[in-house]
């Protein structure tokens, strides 16, 4: 087996309303991985346009995700932060993967079914082939590790299937060109954020999402302290006091979610939190949660606002990251084209 150097890649869509789920499921993990790996963090604007985006809002949201990355502690100098559309290799490799992936594989993707809903015939072709572009994002850098929230697990498995099929379909050419027995690594998902699946504050059975029409369902990274407090106060609960152990969450998804959020923000396990708060009424627990949430998130929100006041600085970060991403990608894309038999000058 070819030994690929460890490299982290992940992406976040600039579709507005960055929330606590993105933060606890993905971004805090991005920050933690920087000490151990070379990391590439991408604002995936080409994925965003698989559903309609207002052009001005798209540009604003691209800068906002970049600001959130930096505010949360990503070091854009030691690692790479850029927006996808500035590096044309993503689209080029995605085309190749459109020809590797099978219709049947994409037909199984639950996110397409959810997003396309009943109007499948009306969904963009890009929404259907979205996972092929995601595989291209990762494999353009031969990345080996991909931190994501739970909802991306199926897409990651598809990326592995694509890498595997490319490696077998072209095995002879890969060996002949001196690349050994594998051209692409099979990327590993890292679903290890402090909370891999944060649920809506209004309905503990739905995940917290950027597109939920109710703003009360999520805590946005841009919310100020008063807004965070209001949303936690209005969060759905049940009349029982908090349980003393995890078994007591049975049939109580909202209680489980709020305790999960508290634990993730405090850096504690759910069991540890329950020994502290078991038996409390929600009113009391919500005060504690508000204090912790405001203390952890308000500084990130404030730093985002400060960075957003200087769009030229953000654009420079993206341009610099895109330049370095292009350099890394160029030989890998060249090799893939060579393997396929595309003549290149």
Stretch that binds ligand TRP, among 6-14, 57-65, 113-121, 209-217 (CB under 6 A): 6-14
DSSP track, 14-29: --S--BHHHIIIIIHH
> Per the residue annotation, which of 36, 113, 210, 231 is the catalytic one?
210
Residue 30 vs 183, nearer CB to ligand TRP: 30
- Of 118, 153, 207, 236, catalytic: 207
Q: Contact with ligand AMP (CB under 6 A): which of 208, 221, 259, 322? A: 208
Partner that binds at residue 210, options ligand AMP, ligand TRP, none, CB closer than 5 to 8 Å by kind = ligand AMP
- Is residue 9 near ligand TRP by the rule CB under 6 A? yes
Task: Detail the DSSP E strand segments found in the chain.
Answer: 7-12, 38-43, 80-83, 145-147, 188-190
Closest approach, Cβ 12 to ligand TRP, in A, equals: 6
Least gap, CB of 26 to ligand TRP (angstroms): 7
* Segment near ligand TRP (CB under 6 A); pick from 131-139, 168-176, 178-186, 320-328: 131-139
Paired with 42 in beta bridges are 11, 82
> CB of 22: closest distance to ligand AMP in angstroms?
4
| C-alpha distances out from residue 264 to 25, 194, 324, 336, Å | 10, 5, 33, 41
Residue 210 touching ligand AMP (CB under 6 A): yes
- Report the alpha-carbon distance of residue 329 to residue 88 in Å, rounded: 10
Respond yes or no: is residue 210 known to be catalytic: yes
**DSSP three-state, residue 40:** strand
Q: How far apart are the first and last CA of the chain?
A: 30
13 touches ligand AMP (CB under 6 A) = yes
Residue with token string 């963090």: 41
Buried b (16+ CB within 10 A) or exposed e, 153-191: eebbbbbbbbbebbbeebeeebeeeebeebbbbbbebbb
Q: Which listed option, ligand AMP, ligand TRP, none, makes contact with residue 53 (CB within 5 to 8 Å by class)?
A: none
Compare residues 140 and 258 and give the one whose CB is closer to ligand TRP.
140
* Among candidate residues 188, 87, 167, 129, the one with its CA nearest the CA of residue 335: 167
Catalytic residue among 36, 77, 113, 115: 115
Question: 147 with 31: CB under 8 angstroms?
Answer: no
Instruction: Tell whether residue 149 is a contact of ligand AMP (CB under 6 A).
Output: yes
Question: Which residue in the set 39, 134, 163, 289 belongs to the binding site for ligand TRP (CB under 6 A)?
Answer: 134
Of 148 and 259, the one with the shorter C-beta distance to ligand AMP is 148
The closest alpha carbon to 22, from 196, 170, 276, 165, belongs to 196
Count of helices and strands (H, E) across the chain: 15, 5
CB of 8 to ligand TRP, least distance (A): 10
For ligand AMP, the closer CB: 26 or 317:
26
Which pair of structure tokens corresponds to residue 304? 């985002």
Q: Candidates 17-25, 82-90, 230-238, 328-336 — which segment interacts with ligand AMP by CB under 6 A?
A: 17-25
For 220, the 3-state DSSP assignment is strand
Structure-token pair, residue 70:
């930096």
Q: CA of 137: how far to CAs of 28, 104, 141, 172, in Å?
A: 20, 21, 7, 25
**47: contact with ligand TRP by CB under 6 A:** yes
Q: What does the binding site for ligand TRP look like in residue numbers (CB under 6 A)?
A: 9-11, 13, 44, 47, 134, 137-138, 146, 148, 152, 155
Tell me the catalytic residues.
115, 207, 210
Q: What does the binding site for ligand AMP look like in residue numbers (CB under 6 A)?
A: 12-13, 21-22, 25-26, 148-149, 151-152, 196-198, 207-208, 210
């Amino acid at each position: 087996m070819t030994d690929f150097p460890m490299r982290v890649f992940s992406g976040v869509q600039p579709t507005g309303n960055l929330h606590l789920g993105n933060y606890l499921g993905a971004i805090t993990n991005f920050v933690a991985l920087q000490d151990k790996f070379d990391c590439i963090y991408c604002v995936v604007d080409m994925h965003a346009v698989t559903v309609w985006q207002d052009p001005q809002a798209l540009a604003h949201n691209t800068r906002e995700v970049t600001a959130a990355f930096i505010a949360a502690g990503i070091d854009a100098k030691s690692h790479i932060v850029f927006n996808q559309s500035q590096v044309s290799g993503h689209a080029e490799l995605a085309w190749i993967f459109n020809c590797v992936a099978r219709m049947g594989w994409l037909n199984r993707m639950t996110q397409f079914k959810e997003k396309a809903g009943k109007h499948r015939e009306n969904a963009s072709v890009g929404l259907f082939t979205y996972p092929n572009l995601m595989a291209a994002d990762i494999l353009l850098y031969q990345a080996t590790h991909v931190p994501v929230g739970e909802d991306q697990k199926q897409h990651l498995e598809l990326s592995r299937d694509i890498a595997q099929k490319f490696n077998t379909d072209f095995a002879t050419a890969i060996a002949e060109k001196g690349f050994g027995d594998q051209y692409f690594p099979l990327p590993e998902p890292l679903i290890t954020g402090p909370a891999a699946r944060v649920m809506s504050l209004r309905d503990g059975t739905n995940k917290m999402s950027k597109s939920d029409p109710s703003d009360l369902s999520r805590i946005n990274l841009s919310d100020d302290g008063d807004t965070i407090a209001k949303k936690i106060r209005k969060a759905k609960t049940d009349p029982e006091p908090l349980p003393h152990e995890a078994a007591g969450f049975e049939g109580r998804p909202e209680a489980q979610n709020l305790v999960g959020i508290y634990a993730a923000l405090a850096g504690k396990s759910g069991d540890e939190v329950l020994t502290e708060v078991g038996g409390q009424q929600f009113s009391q627990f919500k005060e504690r949660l508000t204090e912790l949430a405001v203390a952890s998130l308000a500084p990130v929100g404030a730093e985002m606002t400060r960075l957003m006041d200087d769009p030229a600085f953000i654009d420079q970060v993206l341009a610099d990251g895109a330049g370095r991403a292009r350099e890394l990608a160029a030989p890998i894309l060249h090799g893939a084209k060579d393997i396929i038999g595309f003549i290149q000058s």
